[in-house]
């Protein structure tokens, strides 16, 4: 593991992106990669950069498309088509639109079809929370998860995020419905680490703790067994129904390349209907109760999701963002080739 300053990371990644898009978009896209890693979400930050370059080279993602087209709407519900454009840039557009609609109507839902990988779900939920809104965002993926009852890749690990506004710092839960996020498995494989419990299958269908074998097979296990499987299927069907977009089955296997996801952005404006000072006081009491609980032996106690985000950002600003040497070498190489 090596440590890279945020500004250097942005500068080097922008070099590789300049071949595909204008300077402003290239720099902002690089800031998204680096920003996710700065927040400690290493599995969906700089680690994903080389693959995104590959997706643009292969045509899975069209770098010329950075805005989605509105194709339908009714009140505070709108539907857009991304036309296989740049996932995170388009997801930010949808987030901004959901915020705008929610502030006008109290609640809003923006559905998006045919988008490329949006990187980190939590980024969009946090943007809503920092604007004073509750956020719920989810996406489907390629078939990289084994539905309960089969060993075949048959549904997606379909990440979902919930975010809540808070004066002391917004709270955010961001998770895939697999035991481990695919990007986390990639990082562990690069570092030569093993999982503490089987979280997927190898190419022969055997449970394994080897993240490299799981990445190669594309067979991750659902979290909570049949419950995670059911959640995955419902998120997939909800996202594709609202957007009239592709299901995980239509997106295909991981080996086919992940293209054309269906995504949903829901924003809720609680201050429009409740006394925020009262509900925030109640929330702080609950969080204080969680903090007061005695930790298990060797543990560090209970915290609410996202509480440590500011500390992680500050630490990585000061010490540099941790990144595997393999990933950083690829970033530098792509900058030299494409810059």
> What is the set of active-site residues?
44
- Reference 259, options 60, 67, 73, 34; nearest CA is 60
Q: Is 115 helix (H, G, I), strand (E, B) or coil?
A: strand
Q: Which residue has the tokens 């060993």?
A: 151
Q: Are strands 107-115 and 153-155 parallel, antiparallel or unpaired?
A: unpaired
- β-partners of residue 165 are none
Residue-wise DSSP of 128-191: HHHTT-EEEEEE--SB-EE-TT-SSEEE----EEEEE--TT--EEEEE-SBSS-HHHHHHHHHT
Cα dihedral 37, 251, 261, 220, rounded to 10, equals -40
Residues 308, 310: Cα–Cα separation, whole Å:
6
Q: Which residue has the tokens 């990644």?
A: 13
**Quick one: tokens of 178?**
């697999």
Q: Which residue has the tokens 């990988």?
A: 117
**Under 8 Å CB-to-CB from 72, ≥6 apart: which residues?**
78, 79, 244
Residue-wise DSSP of 190-258: HTT---SS--EE-TTS-EES-HHHHHHHT-BPBTTTHHHHHHHHHHHHHHHHHHT---HHHH-BGGG--
């Amino acid at each position: 593991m090596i440590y890279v300053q945020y500004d250097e990371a942005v500068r080097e990644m922008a070099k590789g992106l300049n071949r595909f898009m204008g300077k402003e978009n290239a720099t902002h896209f690089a800031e998204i990669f680096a920003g996710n890693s700065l927040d400690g979400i290493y599995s969906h930050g700089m680690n994903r950069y080389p693959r995104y370059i590959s997706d643009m080279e292969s045509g899975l993602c069209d770098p010329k498309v950075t805005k989605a087209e509105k194709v339908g709407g009714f009140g505070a519900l709108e539907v857009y088509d991304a036309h296989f454009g740049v996932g995170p840039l388009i997801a930010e557009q949808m987030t901004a639109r959901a915020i705008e609609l929610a502030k006008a109507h109290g609640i809003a839902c923006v559905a998006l079809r045919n988008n490329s990988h949006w990187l980190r779900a939590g980024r969009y939920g946090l943007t809503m929370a920092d604007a004073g809104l509750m956020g719920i965002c989810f996406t489907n993926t390629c078939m990289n998860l084994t539905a309960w009852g089969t060993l075949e890749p048959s549904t997606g690990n379909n990440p979902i995020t919930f975010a809540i506004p808070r004066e002391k710092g917004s709270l955010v839960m961001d998770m895939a419905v697999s035991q481990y996020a695919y990007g986390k498995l990639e990082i562990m494989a690069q570092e030569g680490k093993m999982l503490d419990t089987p979280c997927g299958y190898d190419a022969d269908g055997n449970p394994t703790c080897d993240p490299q074998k799981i990445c190669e097979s594309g067979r991750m296990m659902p979290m909570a067994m049949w419950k995670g499987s059911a959640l995955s299927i419902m998120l997939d069907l909800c996202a594709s129904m609202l957007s009239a977009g592709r299901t995980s089955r239509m997106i295909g296997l991981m080996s086919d390349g992940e293209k054309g996801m269906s995504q949903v952005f829901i924003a809720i404006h609680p201050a429009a209907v409740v006394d925020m000072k009262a509900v925030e006081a109640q929330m702080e009491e609950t969080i204080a109760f969680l903090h007061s609980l005695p930790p298990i032996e060797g543990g560090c106690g209970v915290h609410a999701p996202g509480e440590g985000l500011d500390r992680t950002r500050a630490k990585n600003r000061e010490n540099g963002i941790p990144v595997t040497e393999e990933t950083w070498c690829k970033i530098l190489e792509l900058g030299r080739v494409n810059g």
